[in-house]
C-alpha cells in the first residue's frame, strides 16, 4: 500500500519561466511522477508561461524536452486574467479571455497556442500534464 504524499507549496523551490528572469513569473513543479505533473505557475503581466508552441519537443540550454504523442494538458485559472491564444488549422489566430475559475484543456496534438497575461495583475494557474514529457540532459 502506498503512503500519502503531502507537498507544501511554500517548500517547493520556484523556477523561472523558460527564457526569462524572475520578473516574468515563477513555476513551481509541485509533483512530478511517471504518470503526470502538477504545477502552480504565477505569470507577471505581459508574459506567458510557455510562448507559442505545440506539444512536440524543444531544447533549452541544459535539456531536450520531448512530449509523448498522447500528451494532454489542463490549465485552471486560480486568480488574475489573461488570454488564451491559438492558431486554427488555417493558421489564423484565435483568442479567448480567461479568468478565475476558467479551465483550458489542450488535448493530444493540440494546435499552436499560448496563454498570455494581458492583465494588470499576476495570473496564477494550476497546470496538470499527462503523461509528462521526457527531459533528457544535453
Domains of the chain in start order, with CATH, are: 23-137 (2.60.120.10)
**Rounded Cα–Cα distance for residues 94 and 131 (Å):** 27
Q: What is the pLDDT of residue 62?
A: 85
Average pLDDT (17-35) is 92
Residues 87-108: pLDDT tens digits? 988 989 999 999 999 999 999 9
* pTM given for the model: 0.92
Q: What is the pLDDT of residues 100-132, one digit of tens each?
A: 999 999 999 999 999 999 999 999 999 999 999
Note the pLDDT of residue 60: 82
Q: How far apart are CA 40 and CA 31, in angstroms?
A: 10
Amino acid at each position: 500500500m502506498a503512503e500519502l504524499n503531502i507537498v507544501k507549496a511554500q517548500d517547493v523551490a520556484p523556477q523561472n519561466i523558460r527564457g526569462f528572469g524572475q520578473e516574468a513569473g515563477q513555476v513551481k513543479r509541485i509533483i512530478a511522477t511517471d504518470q503526470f505533473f502538477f504545477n502552480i505557475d504565477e505569470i507577471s503581466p505581459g508574459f506567458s508561461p510557455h510562448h507559442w508552441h505545440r506539444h512536440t519537443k524543444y531544447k533549452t540550454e541544459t535539456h531536450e524536452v520531448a512530449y509523448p504523442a498522447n500528451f494532454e494538458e489542463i490549465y485552471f485559472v486560480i486568480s488574475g486574467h489573461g488570454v488564451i491564444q491559438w492558431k486554427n488549422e488555417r493558421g489564423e489566430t484565435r483568442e479567448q479571455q480567461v479568468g478565475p475559475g476558467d479551465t483550458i484543456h489542450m488535448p493530444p496534438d493540440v494546435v499552436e497556442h499560448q496563454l498570455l497575461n494581458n492583465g494588470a495583475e499576476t495570473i496564477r494557474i494550476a497546470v496538470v500534464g499527462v503523461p509528462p514529457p521526457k527531459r533528457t540532459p544535453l
